[in-house]
Structure 1
Amino acid sequence: MTVLNGKGVLDGIAIGKIVFYQRKGQEAVKRHVENTEEELRRYQDAKEQEAADLKKLYEKALHEAGEKSAKIFEIHQMILEDIDFCDAITDTIKSERVNAEYAVKKACDTYIQTISAIDDPYLKERAADIRDISQKLIGILTNSESDTFTSEEPVIIAADDLTPSETVQLDKSKILAFITINGSVNSHTAILARSMNIPAVVAVGEELGLKYNGNNAIVDGASGRIYIAPDAETVRLFSERREAKKAEQEQLHSLKGKKSVTMDGKEINIYANIGRPEDVEAVLRNDAEGIGLFRSEFLYLGRETYPTEEEQFQAYRSVAENMQGKQVIIRTLDIGADKQADYFEMPKEANPAMGCRAIRICLTRQDIFKTQLRALYRASAFGNIAIMFPMIISVGEVRAIKQIIHAVQLELSGEGAAYNPETKLGIMVETPAAALISDELAKEVDFFSIGTNDLTQYTLAIDRQNPSLEHFYDAHHKAVLTLIRITAENAHKNGIFVGICGELGADLSLTETFLRMGIDELSVSAPCVLPLRKKVMETRMDR
């Protein structure tokens, strides 16, 4: 038996045969061309095809791995359209009079060489993205078949590394685990593996070689160990551990239909976050008590024009009806920062996370906002909808929103359109400003929802998407928890409910803390609902 060590990405045990992922070679040989216009046209056609492919990958990732993972392909789309990257390719075609695939390879190599010289994990991840995009472009230009993986039985996939596009295209039913020579626990592929709930071990090193292809192995995602050609006793021990985990999952399923109540009788609502109407299936399957965050950005991203009122209405209505009376809290559009749509024609900003985003766009482009509000209010006639506004920092913003809502309601009434005039209105508390004036804000709305992701990054002044700052980023920082406590106290003081819809809501080490603060609702990704309910049911508050 041989034991290899890497970095575990997701806790879990897989037992099966190792099969190496084999890529088909893609030639990008340099050729002189006379007709550069034809090469530019080939490049543009390839770009359009890749953009269409990325859209399909986004949809597949969204369905199988959730919104956070799907965003990877939005980043790829942005890189594909990046002006500097595109100019490097077209300039090479025109100035050197070479074929498009070679120009793509040259641009890719230049960017990766520049980035690799900088010791920054975040930039290194961008290098992997550029390589993935370039490989796909070259494959389209050379008419190379896409890499495929087929297996009659589920196997452990081994590779030097896997790109996000390769990972998401694999048939999940045939994958027991991923093991890779390179990679990191923060890579996009690792994020996908976690979201797809597939055990993975990365950064095993060159010891993981083709000589192990076809060998039986055990992958322990918790420890990051791989046992190749394990003896009978090791197989028995890990089989027992795997069965224990399976029994734990069955116990979680037995909690469906039960209330989320502590041992001493304190009840809390456990809701789910969704990014698209299709996600309702997972919400119901995991027995969430409602939807605490329905992100409406999906209607605006990955398209070339604004969504119509009717498109929005149908999406909101379908979710409200499918939830059969359970509350659905819909957040108005949160475009900006890391979520960009070209047709909004937003000016370039040096610091978009601090720029014109979310409610700031809505209040400065009221035609867009009114269209969404009309759709939301029309949908309110078909279910238990509440509306939530992001990035609020002042009472004046809330009052301005109410004036616009009043105008929308008058319009709908004049048209004879059905809507619920008692629709609950809430705000996201995701800035220190909102938390510190939450006593005043609570007098204006029906509920608060604390967005802990942004609240943490704005409180700590740390970009939460920059992995090179990971060791500085502390989501449990006393300042963050203090702002959450202040917000909860001011909500209850003014008779409104308060929830949490950020990632901290699923942090089981903080569940009791949140319960003691008086948080009324925790909204998490659908797979986290039952583990969170179990934690609540095992907690005592009277000691």
Structure 2
Amino acid sequence: METIRGIGVSGGIAIGAIRVLDTVDHAVERRVVDDPKAEVERFRAARDTAVDQLKQLRDRTAAEFGEGKAELFDTHQLMLQDPDYVESIEDLITSSRVNAEFAVNSTAEQFAAMFAAMDNSYMQARAADVRDVSRRVINVLEGKRGGGAQDGDGDSHIILAEDLAPSETVQLDRSKVLGFVTAKGSANSHTAILARTMGLPAIIGIGDGFDPADDGHTAVIDGTSGMVFVDPDEATLTEYQGKKAQYEEHLRLLQELKGKPTETKSGQQVRLYANIGRPSDVTAVLANDAEGIGLFRSEFLYLESRDYPTEEFQFEAYKEVAQKMGDRLVVIRTLDIGADKQVGYFNLEHEDNPALGYRAIRICLTRPEIFKVQLRALLRASVYGNIAIMLPMITSVQEVRDAKQILGEVKDELRGGHIDFDGHIQVGIMIETPASVIMADELAAEVDFFSIGTNDLTQYTLACDRQNPNLGRFADPHSPAVLRMIRMATEAAHRHGIWCGICGELGADLELTDTFLEIGLDELSVSPTSVLPLRNAIRNHENG
């Protein structure tokens, strides 16, 4: 038996034969062309064909997985039509007189390296997307099928590959594929997201554990722990057959919790919300029966735009989410740009320590022209549902008052234009700095709610850079100091009659559920897939 450890990105257990896919990109030959102009036209024709293929793939994905996941292929089409991308390819063909295949491949590597070098993990994962769309164009140029990996006919199997592109993943035959394991990949990639949507156990990053000679061998994969067992012995096989049955029964029981109240056996109630990054995520929120949205990360509207998103663009996004959620609360965080989320068109200066730098509310207060556009969109959308505004990275009472003054100016402008908005819209703040905890009583007097951002609160309380992998043993979110901060903020909120929740990753940590209930948190906002497991834990709590 061979034991391999990777990174589990989609839960579940699969047991079956391995099928190795040859998905490694082969070297692209560089050739000198006699007619660069004709080669540019050849590239354009291939690009247009690739766009048509992506349109077909988008329609198939929408029909099978919903509009939200289909938006990925809208993004891929935009990548192929991006002026910088196209210009780079055509300039290389013209100036160096090279073949289109080589120009596309070179440009893809250049853009992928640019994405990979960014501090933001979401943008780093886009390196795989630009390679995916470029490989599609190269396949068209080379006369190959553009559909990506084919898993073939035959019995059910586990896919083992060097890597899988999103377009390849979505085309796998789910009636035959039990799960997949890749040598490369990112937990934030669209491939990982699609695996979770498809309900396929998936493991990435096994590195040197990838061995094409394993084709046909039996394997057990655990998409939660990231463990892979090739040719498992009898004891391991029996153990994981039992775990697989338990996991499937657990999923069945969780589905029965839909529609049931989130309360302990003694009647203590907790509101269970979900975190989202874009409007399409609402589908998962509703599918997992979340009671509201506790964190809409509005900065993704900025991260995914080439320029400042307009008021109308933002209004439509917020309106869509509010309408889909009906009466359920939607807490929208104002833009949290800076630190690990860099946006080129903001033209932010390099900072030696961006986590302590010019970010979030600090940008909004010093560039009110940007802030007002977002606030106008939020207020206009507020008449279409139950929206609340949340201010990030607050460290002082004055920051809150300054933000509320700008909000008041925007309200006056809307009234002057006879534009409707919710005049009683809730305004809250994120508690994610020690300063905000220390000033919690004063801050609670200014706002309608607190939402504790445990990722940054842990970073700032323990003086541990959350992006530094060498600090894992020191950046302990279970630290008594962090938990005491959470208690202090909650108690201050309750003293002033406002509610307090958590919107950081810690909210879904089942080891701390009892602690959070004892502290008296009013709300927990987690990823949509964590809603039902957390509801189960709360409903089984004995001492509410």
Tell me if the contact between 2:23 and 2:162 (Cα under 8 Å) persists in the aligned partners.
Answer: no
Aligned equivalent of 2:19: 19
CA distance in structure 2 between the aligned counterparts of 1:50 and 1:360, rounded to whole angstroms: 43
CA distance in structure 1 between the aligned counterparts of 2:432 and 2:291, rounded to whole angstroms: 23
Aligned equivalent of 1:117: none
Match for 1:472 among 451, 454, 474?
474
| DSSP-derived class of the 1:28 partner | coil
| DSSP-derived class of the 2:28 partner | coil
Match for 2:331 among 329, 332, 340?
329
User: What residue identity is the alignment partner of 1:500?
Assistant: I
Match for 2:439 among 415, 437, 440?
437
The two structures have a TM-score, normalised by structure 1, of 0.78
| DSSP-derived class of the 1:499 partner | strand
| DSSP-derived class of the 1:263 partner | coil
| DSSP-derived class of the 2:258 partner | coil
Tell me if the contact between 2:68 and 2:280 (Cα under 8 Å) persists in the aligned partners.
Answer: no
Aligned equivalent of 2:28: 28
Aligned equivalent of 1:148: 149
1:224 aligns with 2:194: no
CA distance in structure 1 between the aligned counterparts of 2:91 and 2:318, rounded to whole angstroms: 46
CA distance in structure 2 between the aligned counterparts of 1:44 and 1:434, rounded to whole angstroms: 54
User: What residue identity is the alignment partner of 2:149?
Assistant: T
User: What residue identity is the alignment partner of 2:20?
Assistant: F
| DSSP-derived class of the 2:370 partner | helix
CA shift in 2, pair 1:217/1:64, >3 Å: farther
Aligned equivalent of 2:448: 446
The two structures have a TM-score, normalised by structure 2, of 0.78
**CA displacement 1:479-519 (0-9 Å, x = unmatched):** 22222121112111211110100100000111111111121
1:249 aligns with 2:248: no
Tell me if the contact between 2:169 and 2:191 (Cα under 8 Å) persists in the aligned partners.
Answer: no
CA distance in structure 2 between the aligned counterparts of 1:172 and 1:353, rounded to whole angstroms: 42
- The range that moved more, 358-367 or 220-229, is 220-229
CA shift in 2, pair 1:460/1:47, >3 Å: farther
Tell me if the contact between 1:4 and 1:204 (Cα under 8 Å) persists in the aligned partners.
Answer: no
CA shift in 2, pair 1:176/1:296, >3 Å: same
Aligned equivalent of 1:258: 260
- Tell me by how many angstroms 1:373 deviates: 1.4
1:398 aligns with 2:384: no
| DSSP-derived class of the 2:303 partner | coil
- The range that moved more, 300-309 or 412-421, is 300-309
Tell me if the contact between 2:23 and 2:163 (Cα under 8 Å) persists in the aligned partners.
Answer: no
**CA displacement 1:123-179 (0-9 Å, x = unmatched):** 9x9999868856864664572455322445653111234467755775666542223
CA distance in structure 1 between the aligned counterparts of 2:506 and 2:209, rounded to whole angstroms: 37
| DSSP-derived class of the 1:156 partner | strand
Please, what is the CA RMSD of the aligned residues?
4.7
1:361 aligns with 2:363: yes
Aligned equivalent of 1:458: 460
Tell me if the contact between 1:271 and 1:292 (Cα under 8 Å) persists in the aligned partners.
Answer: yes
1:510 aligns with 2:487: no
Tell me if the contact between 1:132 and 1:165 (Cα under 8 Å) persists in the aligned partners.
Answer: no
Tell me if the contact between 1:21 and 1:158 (Cα under 8 Å) persists in the aligned partners.
Answer: yes
- Tell me by how many angstroms 1:293 deviates: 0.8
Note the 1:155-234 alignment, pairs <5 A. Answer: 155-162=157-164, 175-180=177-182, 182-183=183-184, 192=193, 195-196=196-197, 198-201=200-203, 209-221=211-223, 222=225, 224-228=227-231
CA shift in 2, pair 1:381/1:187, >3 Å: closer
| DSSP-derived class of the 2:322 partner | helix
- The range that moved more, 205-214 or 237-246, is 205-214
CA shift in 2, pair 1:49/1:455, >3 Å: farther
CA distance in structure 2 between the aligned counterparts of 1:137 and 1:42, rounded to whole angstroms: 15
| DSSP-derived class of the 1:300 partner | helix
- Tell me by how many angstroms 1:538 deviates: 1.4
CA distance in structure 2 between the aligned counterparts of 1:22 and 1:148, rounded to whole angstroms: 8
Aligned equivalent of 1:6: 5
Match for 1:528 among 511, 527, 530?
530
Aligned equivalent of 1:116: none
**CA displacement 1:426-450 (0-9 Å, x = unmatched):** 0011122212211211111010001
Tell me if the contact between 1:16 and 1:217 (Cα under 8 Å) persists in the aligned partners.
Answer: yes
Note the 1:232-381 alignment, pairs <5 A. Answer: 238-381=240-383
Aligned equivalent of 1:500: 502
Aligned equivalent of 2:413: 411
- Structure 2: gaps of 5 or more residues: 114-118
Tell me if the contact between 1:167 and 1:189 (Cα under 8 Å) persists in the aligned partners.
Answer: no
CA distance in structure 1 between the aligned counterparts of 2:430 and 2:369, rounded to whole angstroms: 22
1:389 aligns with 2:391: yes
Match for 2:489 among 480, 487, 490?
487
CA shift in 2, pair 1:337/1:100, >3 Å: farther
**CA displacement 1:344-395 (0-9 Å, x = unmatched):** 3333434333332222222122222222212222222222211111111111
User: What residue identity is the alignment partner of 1:424?
Assistant: Q
CA distance in structure 1 between the aligned counterparts of 2:178 and 2:91, rounded to whole angstroms: 45
CA distance in structure 2 between the aligned counterparts of 1:413 and 1:53, rounded to whole angstroms: 48
CA distance in structure 2 between the aligned counterparts of 1:488 and 1:438, rounded to whole angstroms: 9
Tell me if the contact between 2:132 and 2:165 (Cα under 8 Å) persists in the aligned partners.
Answer: no
Tell me if the contact between 2:112 and 2:130 (Cα under 8 Å) persists in the aligned partners.
Answer: no
CA shift in 2, pair 1:404/1:127, >3 Å: closer
User: What residue identity is the alignment partner of 2:5?
Assistant: G
User: What residue identity is the alignment partner of 2:427?
Assistant: L
Q: In percent, how many aligned pairs have the same letter?
A: 46
- Tell me by how many angstroms 1:531 deviates: 0.6
Tell me if the contact between 1:104 and 1:134 (Cα under 8 Å) persists in the aligned partners.
Answer: no
| DSSP-derived class of the 1:272 partner | strand
Tell me if the contact between 2:2 and 2:232 (Cα under 8 Å) persists in the aligned partners.
Answer: no
| DSSP-derived class of the 2:264 partner | coil
CA distance in structure 2 between the aligned counterparts of 1:516 and 1:462, rounded to whole angstroms: 27
